[in-house]
Amino acid sequence: MKWRTEPPLGGEHMRCLLTCKTDTGIRYVTIGWAGYGEMMRGAVAWAPLPEHIAKCPDGWMSQYRGDDSPSESGLYLVSLMKGNRPAPVQLLWYNHKKDTFGGSHDYVGWMPEPKPFNGSAGGRSNNSSINRRQLPSARVGS
């Protein structure tokens, strides 16, 4: 994953992965937007979302290719299907006991949540990061 600290200058906002930083310096990954030389409030770095597994299977795990479901509950990037169409990639909680992502059984692929950007952004380095399980009220996805 290549994180970028400069927002894209292109002519539209794009949905992307973001590393956001709290007022206390804790960093976490979410899905948000960047574009027009700006990033979503609180973001210190952005990275493109991976393509849906139907477009580019590289890096994705899938039960349809013989991969086992994740071995523990946690946040994952997920490729979902809505009917016969690919849905936008989401960042969802996997419940190991129920074998669901965000309560849905409509997943076709998953990959681990990326690690937050921990380099120097905005002039000073802060290597604090947090496991999202410690933030039960954090908003997940978009």
Task: Give the three-class secondary structure for 65.
Answer: helix
**Please, what is the average pLDDT of the chain?**
85
Q: Give residue-wise pLDDT tens across range 6-34.
A: 998 877 889 999 999 999 999 999 999 99
Domain-wise residue ranges, the chain: 63-112
Q: 8: which residues sit within 8 A by CB, 6+ positions away?
A: 14, 34, 35, 37, 46
> Distance between CA atoms of 39 and 100, rounded to whole angstroms?
31
Q: What is the pTM of this model?
A: 0.79
**Can you list the pairs that 21-28 forms with residues at least 24 positions away whose Cβ atoms lie under 8 Å?**
21/121, 21/126, 24/128, 25/126, 25/128, 26/128, 26/129, 26/130, 27/116, 27/117, 27/118, 27/126, 27/128, 27/129, 27/130, 28/116, 28/129, 28/130, 28/132, 28/135, 28/138
Residue range 101-126: average pLDDT? 78
